[in-house]
Amino acid sequence: MLAEPESPEVYARRTITHALRRSPFEVWTREALASRFGISQALTARILSELVGAGVVERLEGPDEEYALAGSEL
């Protein structure tokens, strides 16, 4: 039996969460995540917003809209 293809939203959420958890002290910009994993910037922004709202990800202070896993700041 063939598995159903993963939707772009499911792929984006899983990939972004994995990237942030894989290297908890690494800081990402929305643009870097979108570019690195081939996800649209609009979808990346929406997923990051949801993850920030859920407390999984933190938006760091500064002009570059940087994000890191919640609680991972040095």
Confidence of residue 24 (pLDDT cuts 50, 70, 90): confident
Confidence of residue 14 (pLDDT cuts 50, 70, 90): very high
Domain 8-69 indexed as CATH 3.40.462.20: no
pLDDT at 1 over 70: no
In the numeric block, which tokens belong to residue 41? 């910037």
Q: Where are the domains of the chain?
A: 8-69
SS (H, E, C) the chain: CCCCCCCHHHHHHHHHHHHHHHCCCCCEEHHHHHHHHCCCHHHHHHHHHHHHHCCCEEECCCCCCEEEECCCCC
What confidence score (pLDDT) does residue 63 get?
Answer: 85
Strand partners of residue 57: 69
Strands 57-59 and 66-69: antiparallel
